[in-house]
């Protein structure tokens, strides 16, 4: 290791401290090595003490330009939808793209002065910064009206773990709104906000969107900056729009997409202005005669996406019927097999423990070039305390235990193997997408489940088993980074009660950075058919 500076005049650390730290890792230092290292580490401490404060580079918002008021925790959070309320807008917006629209932010997205709970009491943190997506919403004339509830540490697909309480499905009280962007799904689905921004690492935009009968887009990895948002895993992190219509989805994506100079997920993102203009091209599609809207578009029906273990036959019928309707819109529809699709969720499950446990729960982001929210990092140690662990829901607790297990039993070789397999799987989708413009499949294998009566008091295993297989069609595209949109295509009976009707979602997956293809195909279907009258 090259040394920039050795400061022999610096106050010397104790030899015993050096030896104790080495001993914690099972190392024994010779007396000479310990003495030599005292000089080196003393110089290191002196350099650390000499560094300037990083406040000069932290993007603290101009509160005169972006004022916020009425910050409070609502006594009525609308059946779990709200985490907090606020009114925040720009006094001099640069466009009217979102003029007057109301937007909720998932409660892992920073908005200065508003508590960011991340669905858990593990860390109590009020940000000093605004996430890039929040600033862009306000610059586009949108009004941020609150923080939407999210599941505990953003690691649940069932809306029963948020610190603010259960989040109920807008179509059926007592049923899940999906997760982890559960509040976003409920608030948009119930018409309480025009739009919301969710985040997705395994399906957390698309699961609540499919469950709540709304449109949700997980953009191409890196299309939307993740700056100022609590990470789960930088290789999986996506932020994107959740709206009632495809056009609104395109509108919000246009407002928040593009590089921001902070997020290294965007380091190679070099898109011209037209490729970041989504609304115009969506409008162009739906203005055509119905039979010509998708002329020249090739849609691949992903066979493995209809072969999920335990898949509800009503979901299969509903989505297949929706797929069949593309032919009347001028599209060419054909089956396609990608065997690697069945491997993808297994790789996701195997890989997240090491990286996601470290990043999501301990804040470790070494090697990434991005905004570090150091005030939050200061609240987390190198390991969770018992109190912090006990504050987690079943999914996040299982994640942390997996992190400890994989670190001890498998290590970095296993992590490297999973990352290599992710590339192998992504290449398989890319190969298919050379033949087709989009791939189509059910978003979820079954309708939203009923919420447990006593939240997660039933225990880790029973609670976790409620969502087994849920992410089989969603998590593969967090691994691969392809854009994926869920749109509602009808109602199906609840598994627990055939008299309860719940939304079913269809997922469209496109080529990387061609998010507009997903939007165009989705918009054409939405224009031609009213999903609310379609039932299995």
Confidence (pLDDT) at 535: 73
- Please indicate whether residue 55 is annotated as part of the active site: no
Over residues 371-390, the pLDDT tens digits come to 999 999 999 988 999 999 99
Q: Which of 159, 204, 209, 480 is catalytic?
A: 204
The burial class, CB within 10 Å (0-12 / 13-18 / 19+), for 13 is: middle
Q: Which helix (H) or strand (E) holds 333?
A: strand 332-336
Domain 68-533, CATH 3.90.1300.10 — does that match? yes
What's the full length of the chain, in residues? 536
Q: Which of 159, 180, 181, 486 is catalytic?
A: 180
CA distance 468 to 395: 12
Residue pair 516/282 in contact (Cβ under 8 Å)? The answer is yes
**Average confidence (pLDDT) over 434-458:** 95
Per-state percent for the chain, helix, strand, coil, to nearest 5 = 40, 15, 45
Domain ranges (residues) in the chain: 1-51, 68-533
Residue pair 150/106 in contact (Cβ under 8 Å)? The answer is yes
Residue pair 18/38 in contact (Cβ under 8 Å)? The answer is yes
Residue position matching structure tokens 């290191």: 44
Q: What are phi and psi of 50, to 5 degrees?
A: -85, -10
CA distance 231 to 363: 8
Over residues 374-433, the pLDDT tens digits come to 999 999 988 999 999 999 999 999 999 999 999 999 999 999 999 999 999 999 999 999
Nearest to 108 by CA among 72, 162, 153, 158: 153
- pLDDT band (50, 70, 90) for residue 276: confident
- Please indicate whether residue 287 is annotated as part of the active site: no
CA distance 397 to 62: 38
- pLDDT band (50, 70, 90) for residue 534: confident
Most confident of 49-63, 241-255, 262-276: 241-255
Over residues 26-81, the pLDDT tens digits come to 999 999 999 999 988 898 888 888 899 998 899 999 999 999 999 999 999 999 99
- Please indicate whether residue 180 is annotated as part of the active site: yes
Confidence (pLDDT) at 366: 83
Q: Is the pLDDT of residue 506 over 80?
A: yes
Over residues 80-122, the pLDDT tens digits come to 999 999 999 999 999 999 999 999 999 999 999 999 999 999 9
Residue pair 487/444 in contact (Cβ under 8 Å)? The answer is no
**Average confidence (pLDDT) over 19-26:** 91
CA distance 212 to 170: 6
Q: Which of 106, 218, 512, 520 is catalytic?
A: 106
Whole-model pTM: value is 0.96
The three-state secondary structure class of 428 is: helix
Neighbours of 49 (CB within 10 A): 9
Residue pair 254/286 in contact (Cβ under 8 Å)? The answer is no
CA distance 451 to 12: 59
């Amino acid at each position: 290791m090259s040394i920039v500076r050795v400061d022999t005049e610096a106050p010397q650390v104790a030899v015993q401290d050096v030896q104790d730290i080495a001993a914690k890792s099972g190392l024994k230092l010779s007396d000479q090595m310990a003495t030599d290292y005292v000089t080196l580490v003393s110089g290191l401490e002196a350099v650390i003490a000499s560094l300037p404060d990083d406040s000069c580079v932290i993007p603290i918002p101009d509160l005169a330009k972006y004022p916020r008021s009425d910050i409070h925790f609502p006594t009525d959070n609308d059946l779990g939808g709200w985490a907090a309320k606020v009114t925040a807008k720009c006094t001099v917006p640069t466009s009217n793209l979102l003029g007057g629209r109301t937007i909720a932010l998932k409660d892992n997205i920073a908005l200065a002065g508003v508590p960011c709970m991340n669905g858990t009491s593990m860390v109590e943190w009020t940000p000093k910064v605004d996430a890039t997506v929040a600033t862009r919403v306000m610059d586009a004339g949108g009004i941020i009206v609150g923080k939407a509830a999210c599941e505990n540490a953003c690691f649940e697909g069932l809306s029963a773990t948020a610190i603010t309480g259960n989040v109920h499905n807008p179509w059926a009280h007592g049923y899940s709104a999906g997760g982890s962007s559960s509040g976003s799904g409920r608030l948009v689905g119930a018409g309480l906000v025009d739009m919301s921004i969710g985040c997705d690492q395994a399906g957390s935009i698309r699961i609540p969107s499919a469950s709540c009968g709304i449109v949700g887009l997980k953009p191409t990895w890196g299309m939307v900056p993740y700056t100022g948002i609590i990470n789960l895993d930088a290789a999986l992190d996506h932020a994107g729009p959740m709206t009632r219509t495809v056009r609104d989805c395109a509108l919000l994506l246009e407002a928040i997409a593009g590089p921001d100079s902070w997020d290294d997920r965007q380091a190679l993102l070099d898109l011209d202005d037209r490729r970041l203009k989504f609304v115009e091209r969506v409008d162009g599609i739906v203005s055509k005669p119905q039979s010509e809207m998708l002329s020249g578009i090739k849609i691949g029906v992903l066979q493995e996406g209809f072969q999920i273990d335990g898949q509800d036959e009503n979901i299969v019928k509903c989505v297949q019927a929706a797929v069949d309707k593309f032919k009347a819109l001028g599209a060419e529809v054909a089956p396609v097999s990608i065997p690697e699709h069945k491997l993808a969720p297994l790789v996701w499950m195997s890989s997240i423990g090491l990286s996601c446990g470290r990043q999501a729960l301990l804040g470790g982001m070494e090697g990434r070039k991005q905004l570090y929210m150091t005030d939050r990092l200061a609240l987390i140690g190198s390991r969770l305390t018992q109190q912090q662990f006990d504050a987690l829901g079943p999914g996040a607790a299982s994640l942390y235990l997996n992190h400890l297990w994989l670190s001890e039993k498998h290590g970095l070789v296993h992590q490297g193997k999973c990352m290599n397999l992710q590339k192998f799987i992504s290449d398989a989708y890319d190969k298919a997408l050379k033949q087709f413009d989009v791939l189509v499949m059910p978003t979820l294998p079954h309708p939203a489940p009923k919420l447990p009566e006593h939240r997660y008091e039933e225990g880790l295993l029973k609670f976790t088993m409620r969502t087994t297989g849920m992410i089989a069609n969603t998590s593969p595209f967090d691994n691969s980074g392809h854009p994926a949109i869920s749109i509602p295509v009808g109602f199906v009976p609840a598994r627990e009660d055939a008299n309860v009707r719940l939304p079913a979602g269809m997922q469209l997956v496109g080529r990387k950075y061609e998010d507009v293809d997903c939007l165009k195909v989705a918009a054409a279907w939405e224009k031609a058919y009213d999903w609310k009258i379609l039932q299995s």
